[in-house]
Amino acid sequence: MQELMGQRGGAASPQNAGQQKAQEDAKQEAEERRQMMLAQILSSEARERISRIALVKPDKARGVEDVLLRAAQTGGISEKVSEERLISLLEQINTHTSKQTKVTIQRRRFDDDD
């Protein structure tokens, strides 16, 4: 029984591997296109700043890149984005997405028999 299952799994595995490789290639190609578009709309200083942000907060950097790409596609960006403009965009995003941190301290209560 296990041999039959192994044969079926073994026959389907190369096809799955081919599909997986095709998906990975498509993902990599899309990421390369994304990086090329970002290189066209960002100055070198702005790209460096985004890469430093990506080291600490990859999701935030991805979101900023998405905003920039969307603006470029709709015609909102006519020239390369400078570092100063990127900083102002980051500040705007921070004000909209800032979280209020609330700390609650719960102390353990001891029953004293005094």
Has domain 32-95 been given CATH number 1.10.10.10?
no
Question: Letter for the amino acid at 105?
Answer: I
CB 97 within 8 A of CB 67: no
Asked if residue 5 has pLDDT above 60, the reply is: no
The pLDDT assigned to 52 comes to 93
Based on the number of CB atoms within 10 Å of its own CB, is 46 exposed (0-12), middle (13-18) or buried (19 or more)?
buried
Domain ranges, ordered by start, for the chain:
32-95
Higher confidence at residue 112 or residue 66?
66
Q: Tell me: the pLDDT tens digits for 52-110?
A: 999 999 998 998 999 898 988 888 888 888 899 999 988 988 887 766 778 888 888 77
CB 69 within 8 A of CB 38: yes
Asked if residue 34 has pLDDT above 70, the reply is: yes
Q: Tell me: the pLDDT tens digits for 9-25?
A: 554 456 677 888 888 88
Q: What's this model's pTM, rounded to 2 decimal places?
A: 0.62
**Could you tell me the pLDDT band of residue 50, with boundaries at 50, 70 and 90?**
very high
